[in-house]
Amino acid sequence: MPDITGRRIAVLATDGVEEVELTEPVEALRAAGAEVTLVSLKAGRIQAMNEDVNPAGTHQVDLPVAEADAGSFDGLVLPGGTTNPDKLRLDEDAVGFVKGFVSSAKPIAAICHGPWMLINAGGVAGRTMTSWPSLQTDLRNAGATWVDETVVRDGRLVTSRNPKDLPAFCDAIVALFAEAA
């Protein structure tokens, strides 16, 4: 496993985030030595879900997005769940935070419905990506090439489709953040 000790990685999520799409990448990043910060719409705790319908764990927010600066981080993870990115993309601070990573070409990883945030942040045009299948038209309309693959890496962007892809996604994001200096 690559060593990413000292890398500061933001994970942007809110109520409705898919539990395993939050916890498994965070565990993989921490196991590789990264400092992971949960950024959300508000202080306090967020409610994760299993398959969008069953409440799972709650998770302590480390930093409200209104106080977050992309310049303070080395990379970004965007987990899915249907309602999580749908809520986030309606928040100006959240979209602005993601735009900070896009405009500075910092590494970004997104799984499932997470790429919705990249559409709103102007980060998909000209990219080859994957996602939950229902996003393919949205991604294509925003200028991306959508493919149905477990993990897709396009430069400093890694995307995956769903929780079944998490083992490959976690390996790919640790490798991505290891290369980013």
Using CA atoms, how far residue 154 sits from 23, 107, 131, 147, in Å, is 24, 10, 13, 12
- Beta strands (DSSP E) in the chain are 8-12, 35-40, 45-50, 54-60, 63-64, 75-78, 108-111, 128-129, 145-146, 151-154, 157-160
Taking alpha carbons only, the member of 87, 129, 83, 120 closest to residue 101 is: 120
Strands 108-111, 75-78: pairing kind: parallel
The DSSP letter of residue 129 is: E
What does the block give as tokens for 123?
């980060």
Q: Catalytic one among 7, 59, 113, 127?
A: 113
Cβ partners under 8 Å of residue 146, min gap 6: 129, 130, 131, 135, 136, 139, 140
Cβ partners under 8 Å of residue 181, min gap 6: none
- Tell me whether residue 113 is one of the annotated catalytic residues: yes
Q: Kindly list the catalytic residues.
A: 113
